Structure 1
């Protein structure tokens, strides 16, 4: 008994459309009624879909439907994976935000621990922090401050909108007793940076941050 060729083609089309993986001629034959001409059905489908958005292709001896190769660009989607800051990075960012312009040594003094080599690198890479200038003190250490991207990320119009100590305590974000040496300055009283000189072209940045210097002016 020979099946209607159109019916065979439709059956193969349905099987390939629903299959999670490519199907071989043998796979299709097992699912089709006896007498079905699988080869003819595949040839018919191949001709029908040639030049369309979806094409019938053979991969490693098996058949499947796939997007036409010249339209693959339509299927490309770029996703930006959110990057979570470590606790150390969050603490460092908070210190920079409230104490800027601040040096690495000053950050370590407030936190009470040595700054990890990669912590500032991450903040610089994400564009939340930038190098502002050099402190007019022995060694001329580089100072750090926040960027416009920091304000945008946290929905702040200006640094003056940073929460003060009373607001942080009211929100339960700050213990009643601060750790020794830790302070939360008034956001409106941030230093102006008059005690620092701007970085100049060719000015050497700290080794840990040289890869992410970018525009540090």
Structure 2
């Protein structure tokens, strides 16, 4: 099989796939006749082939997928002019703490936020597939430990947690929360004009990523 045929097969499979496809599954397309290194080279070539188009080939935590470029968002939204779903401030802060301090317990989150965490907030993030229980802390009551999921990384277009925005070294807990929430807001609503950190605690909602519907 020549390179052109292999790239065409990869391209077709990825365009038709409803979810990101990991490298090990892409090898199945060729009955393992092509190694992982060869496939990576072909995928990189495909990325270059699509470099001048409105759709791009990207690698996220779960594998490879085609997606629209961020600059196309304005035009695609015209096909679906309904108001985008939005997250509450409490949900955004809770997600930010889980992302940057994981694994964390509900008590850890409450210590950082300074207020009780509504169980419905955590359930909403679990239902979204963005957080999950990965174990229990060996302490009184064995509280559940929460962490983010691969789905969280996929939906925000990240390959790993290392790609989360780097935080400055703030001086106090309130500043820590503000920095984490600001970073999370930037990921969830990157098309929005960035707000000062202190405004995050006055705004009630922030936009959810395109194509993701928020539960009521």
TM class, shorter-length: 0.3 to 0.5
Length-normalised TM-score, structure 2: 0.41
Higher relative contact order (CA 8 A, sep 6+): 2
Length-normalised TM-score, structure 1: 0.40
Task: Give the number of the structure whose alpha-carbon radius of gyration is greater.
Answer: 1
